[in-house]
Structure 1
Amino acid sequence: MTETMNNKAASVSFRNVTKVYGKDVVAVDNIDLEIEPGKLVTLLGPSGCGKTTTLRMIAGLEMSTKGSITIGGVDVTRLPATDRDVSMVFQSYALFPHMTVIENVSYGLKFSGHPKSDIRNAALEGLGLVGLADFADRLPSELSGGQQQRVAVARALVLKPQVLLFDEPLSNLDAKLRRQVREEIREIQQNLGLTVVYVTHDQEEALAVSDTIVVMRNAGIAQIGTPRELYDAPADRFVADFIGEANLVECAITSVEGDTAEVDIAGYRYRLDTRGLDVGPATMAVRPGRIVLNRDAAGDGLEVTVSKATYVGSRMEYTLATPVGELFAVMDDVYDPLDVGQVVQLQFADIGPVLLPEA
């Protein structure tokens, strides 16, 4: 893929940023955030957590109540959106229905003072980046939802912004198309070295596209890390439960040697990283795919009963009745599934549960 449209990727920095609506509605509460140039950073969280407000403050569509925001080392805290050198791809695409695809992509460039021929060439290059060079003369109504989204991306790219913003860009697409378009967005971002800030509430989407994920909760930041860091070492119950599915299991730490703890789960002993915890009651997060179920119920695991078995095509999903409560597990073997009522032995994989640090 061509790199001739490589932009001047910039860092984004938040320092003690707060956004308050009215007298007492705190949308973003005193956050600090560093976004490196050329990285795709996703703001992830449930509705009302502050992620979209944070994105809009980068864009200049909202002004912070307190704190400072810099882009490329320049303080933009009080600059209007038109002076920030950022572009946003909206959830609704915001295409002009009466304009052709190339006219939509060219729209922002018309005010740049460049010759018409240069504008057309830049627009065609942008369409080429998103695989739509042959659709230049079509109207938006003649395109699929995924194609319309790519037109919106091309329109943002041709402006060569320092930072490219995405606000829930895939929410209007079906599941298969979401996967395709997110892969295309990630490929473009990596090939062009773009700084991208991406907002979504979809955990799988965030895990798939991000260099870094910022998990937000209650107007603040719950945890920042790579997708693998957040999945394998969540900071607390909220992150564990929000980033993919997790079973939260009560246990007891019976001994600690260095950085290794031995825990007791209803008689089943397992060793894992202490994560700063000491002997006493604790909680583990266990991913469904890291539970091992053996048909031979004898051994040193937990004896459990299969209470539900569901075939979902690529895997089996099991609900298990256990001495520590109901647990959810998945297995790839769809050809010889476990039966409801079957008693099996539950163990954890070598890379299995993690202890959750105390809040």
Structure 2
Amino acid sequence: MSETLIASKAAPVRFENVTKSFGRDVVAVDNIDLHVEAGKLVTLLGPSGCGKTTTLRMIAGLEMATSGRILIGDRDVTTLPATDRDVSMVFQSYALFPHMSVLENVSYGLTFSGFSKAETKARALAGLELVGLKGFDSRLPSELSGGQQQRVAVARALVLEPQVLLFDEPLSNLDAKLRRQVREDIRAIQQDLGLTVVYVTHDQEEALAVSDEIVVMRNASIAQIGTPRSLYDAPVDRFVADFIGEANILPCEIDSVDGDMATIAIENYRHVLPARGLAPGPAKLAVRPSRLVIGAENGFKTTIAKATYVGVRMEYTLEASFGTMFAVHEDVDAPFQIGAEVTVGFSKKGPVLLPEA
């Protein structure tokens, strides 16, 4: 079995007050603390320039921290070069050697690890079997699809049996259908082998699909850390609400607070939800498009401004007295018509009050 040849040595990763500066004026990562548990897949998510790739490269040893400590397992690797860190990285560009066969590409790192030729080949073949490319060993990278090339890059990293496996935007060169399949492959391999994986992406759906935990980054710092569901259901602020899936940010009034629960008002509509430490008065509400109930018995008045059929659902732009909202509805056979006035309410597990910044 291939699993006997590719064993997991998964180790945790810890950042302690880590800062990375480029020159005097550019702070790429600003005093972050982070703990990645052994055997978990943790995604660094955020817009371009937020510091996620620099964080990944500091784990790899491709960038050195300006201050703070980085530990892999119990070992302080802060000042160690990349070659001494026992990590492997899968790059966005795959970085395959075009003149080498698939087997030679996967074997490349093993040739420097002291294995015999026979064991090197056995491990490389096991790696290819693990990523679903058994029988592809004699092909050249140019004879493979983009998804297959990405799997070769994953196999090449896995056969080194790293303590930590790093992915830098691994799906950005693939089309939508391939992205879905390859991310499922990566997640399945990670879970089957119990690997510690740190994964960088700017794609929210990708992060939600593959992660045990997501680290949302903004302006060189960490905005929020949590499971995909906790970030989606309870974003800490407007940035996270808008970045983890789409969110409508609506004005509301907190009428009253009773213990941990608040009663909010939008026009004449009332809804009870967790107060999240807020007091009565004006507030902001984040509501996912799927949690707006169009045609509700109780709600506030809106008008259908746009209606778009996208196959499995309808997408609507709604105009209310306080602004525009985006909503989705599963009924594609009897869509609401543009110009129709509809009452909109919230699903029971719907809106979230946003704590003040």
Instruction: Look up the SS of the partner of 2:121 in the other structure.
Output: helix
Corresponding residue to 2:321 among 323, 334, 342: 323
Query: Where do 1:260-271 residues align within 5 Å?
Result: 260-271=261-272
Change (3 A) 1:209 1:235: same
How far apart are 1:73 and its partner, in Å? 1.4
- 2:301 aligns with 303
Contact residue 2 and residue 127 of structure 2 kept, 8 A: no
SS in 1 for 2:53: helix
Cα distance in 1, alignment partners of residues 2 and 73 from structure 2 = 24
Aligned to 2:284: 283
The correspondence of residues 1-359 of structure 1 with structure 2, limited to 5 A, is: 3-4=3-4, 5-294=6-295, 299-359=297-357
Q: Secondary structure at the match of 1:207?
A: helix
Q: Is the 8 A contact 1:17 1:29 kept in 2?
A: yes
CA distance 1:290–1:2, change in 2 (3 Å)? farther
Structure 1: which amino acid aligns with 2:348? D
Separation (CA, whole Å) in 1 of partners of 2:335 and 2:298: 22
CA contact (8 A) 1:69 1:76 kept: yes
Distance 2:3 2:314 in 1: 43
- What is the distance in 1 between the residues matched to 2:199 and 2:298? 45
Q: What is the CA distance between 1:337 and its match in structure 2?
A: 0.6
Pairwise CA distance, 1:266: 1.6
Aligned CA distance change for structure 1 residues 112 and 195 (closer, same or farther; 3 Å) = same
Question: How far apart in 1 are the matches of 2:173 and 2:29?
Answer: 26
Offset from partner CA, 1:237-267 (integer Å, 9 cap, x none): 0000000000000111010111110001122
Distance 2:64 2:287 in 1: 41
- SS of aligned partner of 1:153: helix
* Displacement after TM superposition at 1:3 (Å): 3.0
Cα distance in 2, alignment partners of residues 118 and 26 from structure 1: 45
The structural deviation recorded for 1:142 is: 0.3
Unaligned 5+ segments in structure 1 are none
Q: Which amino acid aligns with 2:96?
A: L
CA positional deviation for 1:6? 2.4
Deviation at 1:2, TM superposition (A): 5.0
Cα offset, 1:200, TM superposition: 0.1
Distance apart, 1:324 and its partner CA? 2.1
CA distance in 2, matches of 1:269, 1:45: 34
Identity in percent: 72
> Please, which runs of 5 or more residues in structure 2 have no aligned partner?
none
Q: In 2, are the aligned partners of 1:265 and 1:324 still within 8 Å (CA)?
A: no
The residue identity in structure 1 corresponding to 2:351 is: P
CA deviation map 1:259-316 (0-9, x unaligned):
110001122111100011111111000000000011x7xx431111100000111110
| 1:225 CA displacement | 0.1
Give 3-state SS (helix, strand or coil) of 2:123's partner: helix
What amino acid is aligned across from residue 330 of structure 1 in structure 2? V
- Kept after mapping to 2: 8 A contact 1:6/1:193: no
After TM superposition, the score normalised by the length of structure 2 is: 0.99
In structure 1, distance between residues paired with 2:3 and 2:333: 47
Q: Distance in 2 between matches of 1:206 and 1:6?
A: 26
Q: Distance in 2 between matches of 1:191 and 1:139?
A: 28
Partner Cα separation in structure 2 for residue 212 and residue 271 of structure 1? 29
TM-score by length of 1: 0.98
Q: Could you tell me which amino acid in structure 2 is paired with residue 193 of structure 1?
A: G
Q: Secondary structure at the match of 2:3?
A: coil
Q: Which residue type is aligned with residue 157 of structure 1?
A: L
How many aligned residue pairs are there?
Answer: 356
Deviations 1:15-43 (A, max 9, x none): 00000001110000000000000000000
Q: Supply the RMSD in Å over aligned alpha carbons.
A: 0.9
Question: 1:2 & 1:212 partners in 2: Cα distance?
Answer: 28
